[in-house]
Amino acid sequence: MFAVVDKARRLVPKTDAVLADPRLAAAERLLGRTLVKDAVHRAQQRAREGVIEPSAVCDEAVAELPELAASLTPVLNATGVLLHTNLGRAPLSAAAVQAVGAAAGYTDLEFDLTTGSRGKRGAAMLAALGRAVPDAQAVHVVNNNAAALVLTATALAAGKEIVLSRGEMIEIGAGFRLPELLASTGATIREVGSTNRTTVADYAAAIGPRTGFLLKVHPSNYLIQGFTASAGIAELAELGVPVVGDIGSGLLAPHPVLPAEPDAATWLKAGAALVTASGDKLLGGPQAGLLFGKADLIGALATHPLARALRVDKLTAAALEATLLGPPPPVLMALASDKDVLMERARRLASTLAGGGVDAVAVWSQAAAGGGGAPGVALASAAVSLPAEFAKPLRASRPAVIGRVGDGRLLLDLYAIDQADDEALGAAVLAVAMPPCR
Ligand SMILES: *Cc1c(COP(=O)(O)O)cnc(C)c1O
């Protein structure tokens, strides 16, 4: 046995010889030397271990090549959670993807093609955002909503106080807590009220010469129910200090499917001086922090030195503009979905799978908007139910398929799946049920 392995080791072709294979040379131009070499080394290792013949190293290395130079893997999101932070939140619209591709090279991000001189960075993106929210005197865009809040706190409340209800001191995920984020800017959090009840009088009593602004945060990932009270934007706006509202989700206007979810236009109309939101939640765009509000405040934020550290790149500018001006992005299409249509799709998929011998049935399901908004709102949906054993091999599919496991079954919820992907979803399940011979 050892002798055989030793012989195989001697016969394993050298790296340079393998790299000279025309297929690998071509791959190197696309993927770069590091990734191709990694594939070659894996193939050589398998030959040394006697798993493959030394003569098969080139073919094996070709089979080992990654498809792209980046390893983020496309996922079919069958979790029923529309905005899943672990799965990259909102999928971009086709229009946004195209815009990103077009902006990827040299582009007129900060250049005026008419005059040939320097232009305002991201002017088209800002114009699109302003047009989408006419109630905002001005708008600004930063890297994410956390950055929008940090910029606001730094510019308007460093060395001062931010008045915040104890019911709105939220943890946004992965251990990041908004009050700690805000305090990191040098502002002091002035907590008011209690977890379940905070009144306008609580805010009013906390206002003084050190007040920077009042902050209203939408509890986007939890609910406080029962004996509760909270102050509205309109009443707070009458207290004579700026009210900043963090709506979280990024709805620009009210949405009929999510009536309890706050939106930028409504909070601005109610008197908020500034509203902040994410770009990659219910807006359905790229990761971004959106700022809407009074011209003087937005001006102060946009020209603050910190703004330079939080500005977005050309890819975000392109994707955000296309999300705002182009056809509705996948997130909004999903929110408009009809449960009977979803059930019809689930039945069709289940019957195809059953025809392939898979124990698959269509079932009603409840989807959710996700950490991005609308906590506690069940969205009527449909799913294909499979034995739970499918979960692991489906994660290994490409694209990977991620469902939801419960009661010994794997549910593939169709709420966040584009209908155009139903066939790929079915094919992935069939491939797991009947692996092709190797
Ligand atoms: C998601 C969320 C944030 C954080 O937004 P990011 O864009 O992820 O930085 C802040 N506040 C609220 C209310 C949120 O829902």
Q: 316 burial class (0-12, 13-18, 19+ CB within 10 angstroms)? A: buried
Question: Using CA positions, which residue lies closest to atom 13 of ligand 1?
Answer: 248
Note the pLDDT of residue 77: 98
The mean pLDDT value for 41-59 works out to 96
Note the pLDDT of residue 238: 98
Instruction: Pick from 82, 143, 145, 180 the residue to mutate for probing ligand 1's pocket: most ligand atoms within 8 Å of its CB.
Output: 145
Percent of the chain exceeding pLDDT 70 equals 97
What is the tens place of the pLDDT at every residue in 140-185?
A: 999 999 999 999 999 999 999 999 999 999 998 888 999 999 999 9
Instruction: Extract the runs of DSSP E, i.e. beta strands, from 75-133.
Output: 75-77, 81-83
For tokens 């269509």, the residue is: 362
Note the pLDDT of residue 175: 85
- Matching CATH number, 75-85+333-433, of 3.90.1150.180, 3.10.50.40, 3.40.50.620, 3.40.50.970: 3.90.1150.180
Name the residue ranges covered by the structural domains of the chain: 2-64, 75-85+333-433, 93-328
Q: 16 burial class (0-12, 13-18, 19+ CB within 10 angstroms)? A: exposed
Note the pLDDT of residue 313: 98
CATH topology of domain 93-328: Aspartate Aminotransferase; domain 2 (3.40.640)
Return the minimum-mean-pLDDT range out of 133-147, 241-255, 423-437: 423-437
Note the pLDDT of residue 437: 64
Tell me, in angstroms, the distance from the centre of ligand 1 to residue 436's CA.
44
Note the pLDDT of residue 147: 98
Instruction: Pick from 220, 222, 276, 320 the residue to mutate for probing ligand 1's pocket: most ligand atoms within 8 Å of its CB.
Output: 220
Q: Provide the whole-model pTM.
A: 0.94
The mean pLDDT value for 247-255 works out to 95
Residues with Cβ within 8 Å of 391's Cβ and at least 6 positions away in sequence, in order, are: 403, 405, 410
Percent of the chain exceeding pLDDT 90 equals 93
Handedness of CA 75, 81, 86, 88 (dihedral sign): positive
- Whole-number Å distance between alpha carbons of 15 and 40: 7
Closest by alpha carbon to 47, among 17, 78, 11?
Answer: 11
Question: Using CA positions, which residue lies closest to atom 2 of ligand 1?
Answer: 248
The mean pLDDT value for 118-143 works out to 97
The mean pLDDT value for 306-332 works out to 98
Atom of ligand 1 nearest to the CA of 89: 8
